[in-house]
Amino acid sequence: MPKENKNKSTRDGFGDALLALAKKDKNIVVVSADLAESTRVWKFAKKYPARFIEVGVAEQNMLGIAAGLALADKIPIATSFAVFSPGRNWDQLRISVCYSKANVKIIGSHTGLGAGEDGASHQALEDIAITRCLPNLVVLAPADYNEAQKALAVAIKHQGPIYLRLTRQNTPIFTSAKSIFKIGQANILQKGQDVTLIACGALVYDALQVAKKLATQNISVEVINCHTIKPLDKKTILASVKKTKKVVTLEDHQIHGGLGSAVAELLAENYPVPVKIMGVNDTFGESGTPEKLYKKYGLDQEHIIKNIKEII
Amino acid sequence: MPTLSIAELKKQANLIRQDIILMLERAGSGHPSGALGMADIFAVLYFQILNHTPHKPNSPLRDRLILSCGHYCPVLYATLARAGYFPLVELKTLRQINSRLQGHPHNLSLPGVENSSGPLGQGISQAVGMALAGKIDQAKHQIFCITSDAEHNEGQLWEAIMTANKYQLNNLINIVDCNNIQIDGKTTDIMPLLSLRKKYESFGWKVLEMNGHNYGNIIATIKQAKNYQKGPVVILAHTIPGKGVSFMENKYDWHGKAPNKEQAEKALQELRQAV
Ligand SMILES: Cc1ncc(C[n+]2csc(CCOP(=O)(O)OP(=O)(O)O)c2C)c(N)n1
Ligand SMILES: [Mg+2]
């Protein structure tokens, strides 16, 4: 089988799960801002036209409408690129959705450098920072296609607002379709002794690959898939760090305000140890393929290995 | 810039269209519809209307062109290169790593690019800001803004449009590409804009309309807009999305899809035959 067939994006996982879930739950409605195909709600729109609301290029209005739908007992799925939602409509997210505890699922696609050729304007590198600071909001960043499917199912069961961070690019499917996905429960994907490597999103796969490579060099890496950035799984992270006493975090996001910051906040208050936060280092991205961008901006496997060796 | 004859302008627009096809095919992604549809207007603006000096891109006296709908950038880049802002060969680097030709425009990356865009709706507010600065400085230059029709779905535009009337910004001209498409379909289906003429009129703007592919009409209309003294002017430019490439014309599915090698060859053949 050609490699691409095994690779799928988390936005695909979301879109496929949506179709299945919508069949069972008639309260699910989709709100779109002229990106139905890119956000993978096109099939839903065709199948359930009466439950599909297209507001045009108007993300602030979209989220307000979603809040209204939620306050009228629908389960709105508000979809766009993350730079626009929650990027452009953050105030609406804060008040109409979070303050009111409106049951809106905010789907932000094309996050991180992985968004690729569209360039800096379309690469959401700040979305975790601006969502994890909001009360009442759950923030999820699934690692692959399978996990994105589970994340949506759990999000729909959950009563309250959720931000689901998705990616454009196809990446390997490596989590099991059967493993349990619980909000606020990080998964230890590989046990280790020397360092805790905490990652989220598409880079979790690279974290695992690195752990495998380093095992051959007698470096034992514990890999945690932290798919829920908020609420953070303090228990799992603290237990791991008490064992390894060293931490590297990894995300396709700014180093300021993301997963790394969340982990650093936890450790500073509870168990201070050396931490290396890997992410985009306070700069905008640019156009390019995800692979080339990860290399240039220090997020490829080579850089992860280098950082782990430096910290242990 | 020397002003060109209509025949020469048409030739430039044709070359710009060929550049757009070559750039997008090579990049493997990007937006052909709007860029092709606006090539005639861009040729007229840069080779006939704008007061600008490509080798002095930061001259304070220059007219400014603000591209609000950033996904149209292939037409801006090709026109800037044809006008002499940077070497034509650089067009090949569109959307590649380390290129000055970003997937959406970045003002700090490339000479001649006045503003960063991509997220729709932001350019027109910046154009209003530049026009206000021009008023404060009692400057003579004009601000041209290019917006797309579906961009008018964004509330921010209407906030800017309201402000331009308040300050009677007669140094501001907004050219709207009325091509009747957006990503998910026709504008009439996705979000009906109804009459942009009536909307702009009720916001206090002078409204002109033109056929965006008729050179005599384009030149006369823009000149009329430039001479209007009482306030901001909007030109509703009626264009054919994908203009010049038969299989792309009026098809919204070409909004954001690059041609493959075969399609590009076919498009180039048509364009070469048209001159
Ligand atoms: C704020 C914002 N939301 C969404 C998008 C994604 N997007 C790119 S172009 C476009 C609309 C296309 O319609 P129009 O602007 O009329 O351009 P055309 O299809 O005619 O090229 C959208 C929704 C964007 N660039 N900015
Ligand atoms: Mg349009």
B129-183 per-position pLDDT tens digit: 999 999 999 999 999 999 999 999 999 999 999 999 999 999 999 999 999 999 9
- At A3 the pLDDT is 45
Closest residue by Cα to residue A233 from A312, A153, A303, A141: A141
Q: Is residue B179 part of a domain?
A: yes
Q: What CATH number has the domain bearing residue B99? A: 3.40.50.970
* pLDDT(A5) > 60: no
Joined together, the tokens standing for residue A246 give 């060293």
Residue A4 has pLDDT above 90, yes or no: no
Task: Please state, in angstroms and rounded to a whole number, the distance separating the CA atoms of residues B222 and B208.
Answer: 9
Q: Using the Cα atoms of residue B81, residue B35, residue B151 and residue A39 in order, give the sign of their dihedral.
A: negative
Q: What is the interface pTM, i.e. ipTM, of the complex?
A: 0.95
A198-229 burial code (b ≥16 CB/10 A, e <16): bbbbbbbbbbbbbbeebeeeebbbbbbbbbbb
Cβ(B181) – ligand 1 distance below 6 Å = yes
Torsion angles phi and psi, residue B223, rounded to 5: -65, -40
DSSP-derived secondary structure letter, A98: I
B1 domain-assigned: no
Question: Which pLDDT band, with edges at 50, 70 and 90, does A1 fall under?
Answer: very low
Look up tokens 């910051």; give the residue: A261
In a domain, B183, yes or no: yes
Q: Is B152 in the pocket of ligand 1 (CB under 6 A)?
A: no
Over the stretch B242-261, which tens digit does the pLDDT of each residue have?
Answer: 999 999 999 999 999 999 99
Check whether B110 has a pLDDT greater than 50.
Answer: yes
Mutate to test the interface with A, among B104, B156, B184, B191 (most CBs of A within 10 A): B184
Contact status of A113 with chain B (Cβ, < 8 Å): no
In percent, how much of chain A has pLDDT > 70? 98
Residue among B27, B97, B150 minimizing CB distance to A56 = B150
> How many C-beta atoms lie closer than 10 Å to residue A44's C-beta?
23
Contacts of B191 in chain A (CB under 8 A): 34, 54-58
Distances (CA, A) of A194 to A218, A222, A248, A261: 10, 8, 11, 21
The pLDDT of residue B1: 62
Q: In the structure encoding, which two tokens stand for residue B4, read together?
A: 């060109």
Taking the Cβ of residue A286 and every Cβ of chain B, the question of whether any pair is shorter than 8 Å is answered with: yes
Return mean pLDDT, chain B: 97
Establish whether the linkage from the previous residue to A142 is cis, with ω within 30° of 0: no
Say if B137 is an interface residue toward chain A (CB within 8 Å): no
For residue A46, the model assigns a pLDDT of 98
Q: Which residue of A has its CA nearest to B102?
A: A287
Query: What average pLDDT does chain A have?
Result: 97
Looking at B96-252, which runs of residues are DSSP E strands? Answer: 143-148, 172-178, 206-211, 233-238
Spacing of C-alpha A45 from chain mean position: 24
Contact A224, A235 (CB under 8 A): no
pLDDT at B2 over 90: no
- Structural domain total, chain B: 1
Residue B64 is assigned to a structural domain of this protein:
yes
pLDDT at A307: 98
Q: Which residue of B has its CA nearest to A293?
A: B97
Q: Of the candidates B101, B104, B183, which has its C-beta nearest A35's C-beta?
A: B183
Residues B16/B78, Cβ–Cβ less than 8 Å: yes
Please report residues of A whose CB lies closer than 8 A to that of B255.
none
| Mean pLDDT on A238-262 | 98
What are the residues whose beta carbons fall under 8 Å from the beta carbon of A306, sequence distance 6 or more? none
Q: Is residue A300 within 8 Å of A268, Cβ to Cβ? A: no
Contact map slice: B 158-177 vs A, CB within 8 A? none
Q: What is the pLDDT of residue A174?
A: 97
- Counting other chains too, the contacts that A16-25 makes at CB distance below 8 Å and 24 or more residues apart are A16/A40, A16/A149, A17/A148, A17/A149, A17/A150, A17/A152, A17/A153, A18/A44, A18/A77, A18/A152, A19/A43, A19/A44, A19/A47, A21/A152, A21/A153, A21/A156, A22/A47, A22/A48, A22/A51, A25/A75, A25/A156
Residue type, A86: P
Query: How does strand B143-148 pair with strand B172-178?
Result: parallel
C-alpha–C-alpha distance, residues A143 and A12, integer Å: 12
Name the least confident of A1-5, A26-30, A242-246, B30-34: A1-5
Mean pLDDT for A93-112 is: 98
- Could you tell me how many helices (H) and strands (E) chain A has, helices first? 12, 14
Residue tagged active-site, from A4, A59, A286, A291: A59
Q: Please, which residues have CB within 8 angstroms of residue A305's CB and are 6 or more apart in sequence? A: A210, A213, A214
Residue A191: CB atoms within 10 A of its CB come to: 12
**What gap in Å lies between CA B187 and CA A291, rounded to an integer?**
36
The per-residue pLDDT for B230 is 98
**Helix H or strand E encompassing B9:** helix B6-27
Q: Is B128 helix (H, G, I), strand (E, B) or coil?
A: helix
Cβ–Cβ contact B119 with A under 8 A:
yes
Distance in Å from the first CA to the final CA of chain B: 23
| Chain A interface includes B125 (CB < 8 A) | no
Nearest-neighbour CA in chain A from B144: distance (Å): 22
Chain A positions touching B23 (Cβ under 8 A) are none
pLDDT at A6: 74
What's the pLDDT at B275?
83
Nearest CA in chain A to B184: A34
B48-104 confidence digits (pLDDT tens): 999 999 999 999 999 999 999 999 999 999 999 999 999 999 999 999 999 999 999
List the Cα angle B4/B6/B12 in 5-degree steps: 70
Res. B125 pLDDT band, cuts 50 70 90: very high
Please give the residue range of the domain that contains residue B66.
6-274
Domains of chain A with CATH codes: 5-173 (3.40.50.970), 187-311 (3.40.50.920)
Question: Residue B199 to residues B225, B226, B234, B236: CA-CA distances in angstroms?
Answer: 18, 21, 11, 12
Residues 6+ apart with CB under 8 A from A311: A195, A246, A247, A248, A274, A276
The yes-or-no verdict on residue A228 having pLDDT over 70 is yes
Q: Is the CB of residue B108 less than 8 Å away from at least one CB of chain A?
A: no
Say which residue the tokens 């959705």 belong to.
Answer: A97
**A59 given a catalytic annotation:** yes
Separation CA A174–CA B134 (nearest Å): 57
N- to C-terminal Cα separation, chain A: 39
Residue with tokens 């680097």: B93
The three-class DSSP label of residue A190 is strand
Give pLDDT tens digits for B200-247. 999 999 999 999 999 999 999 999 999 999 999 999 999 999 999 999
Residue at B123 is within a domain:
yes
* Residue in B189, B191, B236, B255 to alter for ligand 1 test, most ligand atoms within 8 A of Cβ: B255
Say how far apart CA B87 and CA B123 lie, in whole Å. 26
A286 contacts B98? CB cut-off 8 A: yes
| Strand duo A162-165 + A7-8: pairing | unpaired
d(CA B31, CA B25): 11
- What would the mean pLDDT of A160-167 be, rounded to a whole number? 98
Cβ proximity of B190 and B150 under 8 Å: yes
Q: 10 Å Cβ neighbour count for B195? A: 11
Could you report the per-residue pLDDT of A76-91, keeping only the tens digit for each?
A: 999 999 999 999 999 9
